[in-house]
Structure 1
Amino acid sequence: MADAPDHAQRDSLHYRAMRDIVERMQDDVPGKFEITKEGIVHDMMAPGRPHELTAARVSRRLEKSMPDEIVAHTGTPDVEGALEGIMRHPDIMVIAEADMEGQGSFDPRTLIAAVEVVSQSNPDNDWVSKLRDYPLLGVPVYAIFDPRTGTGAVLSEIHATPEGPKYAIRKDFVYGEDVTIGEWTISTDGLPLYA
């Protein structure tokens, strides 16, 4: 009689099954899929113009202040921590070009920062789920821009808590102020709001 799989093995099998489902559905179902500890997140709404314009402006502003070997990448692939059972797709990934080489998903521990523009249709994904998942994945800095309110926050300094890793430092900002993400300070002037 075979032994029952242990907890870690079950988690790994469960994650692999979710990953397979996401891969099969990604090209046929509109929207974006991510995997959290709770399961698959499906944002059915394609990001609107204010969301995409915010991501483009923040990315360009970051790249103007960073050395050439660091990029504020807005494309694919995903960031995946298979051991943690999490696959996310930040709106902007601050990462060294050298860490982008190769195949497959990005290792989340190579990110310098993850930047999210809050989705109008699913704000809890950015303010709750990713706030939990990014420190668990080892992403050292997490910046959130919220076009619903014209505010945001930069979170850093991962530390251990009884509930798991969390960010110890949170610096809130309002649009119009300068904000520091990692080592780079950018303006938030002219970022659009949702109508």
Structure 2
Amino acid sequence: MTIAPDNARQGGASHRFRVMRDFVQSMDDTLPGKFEVTKEGIVHDMMAPVGPHELTTVHLRRRLEKTMPEEIVAHTGEPDVEDASAGIMRRPDMMVIAMADMDVPGSFDPRTLIAAIEVVSRSNPDNDWVAKMRDYPLIGIPVYAVFDPRTGTGAVLTDIHATPDGPRYATRKDFLYGEDVTIADWTISTENLPRYEPEGEQTS
């Protein structure tokens, strides 16, 4: 769901972004889900806090960190990545980043990320497959990897290039769960990643 506070609808782009950013920060720990700022407004993703989404993140983090040097981490959680000039504030499910680049006040600079990784939300898949695929090259994140527990598929997007609509990823490599996938300089297995249950199916 995309929303915008009424007082964000007036004034310039920088004022609008500041108002929405302040609103998002005031909502932290108040309502369930994740709030992010895009050019269209505030995205509220009512994701489940546990289950296949979170377990996928755990598996990916562990597999990546086994292959990476100690100074690089697969970080989950806060803070956001923010580019005020682009009017975008996002919080990837996972950020591959050097520990030295984490030692900053406030939000991370998106251009210091090595990669952003998202696990597709069942409640709002277009946020990961459409909106973030547009936003991440705009703010300079060089690699974007998407894992989709709905379908057991994913994609890695790289090579930012200029287009009439702004920076976009030029290269997309799709994969199926079970295949090896390369994210930046590191290759991991996607074997046995969890899947969402079919809609309406109940577990005993």
TM over 0.5: yes
Q: Which residue among 111, 118, 130 is the counterpart of 2:120?
A: 118
Q: Aligned equivalents of 1:81 and 1:60: distance in 2?
A: 28
**1:93 partner SS:** strand
| Structure 1 CA distance for aligned equivalents of residues 49 and 86 of structure 2 | 27
- Paired position in structure 2 for 1:37: 39
Deviations 1:155-194 (A, max 9, x none): 0000000011000000000000000000000000010100
AA paired with 1:84? A
Shift of 1:67: 0.5
Is 1:20 the counterpart of 2:12 in the alignment?
no
Provide the rounded CA distance (Å) in 2 between the counterparts of 1:194 and 1:68.
Answer: 32
Q: Is the 8 A contact 1:118 1:147 kept in 2?
A: yes
What SS does structure 2 have at the residue aligned with 1:170?
A: strand
Residue 75 of structure 1: how far off its partner (Å): 1.8
Structure 2 equivalent of residue 135 of structure 1? 137
Match of 1:70 among 72, 75, 78: 72
CA shift for structure 1 position 90: 0.5
Q: Percent identity?
A: 72
Structure 2 letter corresponding to 1:119: S
Q: Does 1:48 align with 2:50?
A: yes
Distance 1:71 1:58 in 2: 12
Q: Using the alignment, how far apart are the partners of 2:49 and 2:195 within structure 1?
A: 13
The alignment partner of 1:154 has SS state of: strand
Q: Unaligned stretches of 5+ in structure 2? A: 1-10, 198-204
Question: 1:43 Cα deviation (Å)?
Answer: 1.2
Answer yes or no: is the 8 Å Cα contact 1:47–1:119 preserved in 2. no
Residue equivalent to 1:172: 174
TM-score, scaled relative to structure 1: 0.94
Whole-angstrom CA distance in 2 between matches of 1:98 and 1:64:
19
- Structure 1 residue ranges without an equivalent (≥5): 1-8
| Matching residue of 2:193 | 191
How many residue pairs get aligned? The number is: 187
After TM superposition, which residue ranges in structure 1, 4 or more long, deviate above 4 angstroms?
A: none
Output the amino acid matched with 1:130.
K
Distance 1:17 1:183 in 2: 38
- How far apart in 2 are the matches of 1:18 and 1:48? 27
Cα RMSD (Å): 1.0
Which of 145, 148, 160 does residue 147 from structure 2 map onto?
Answer: 145
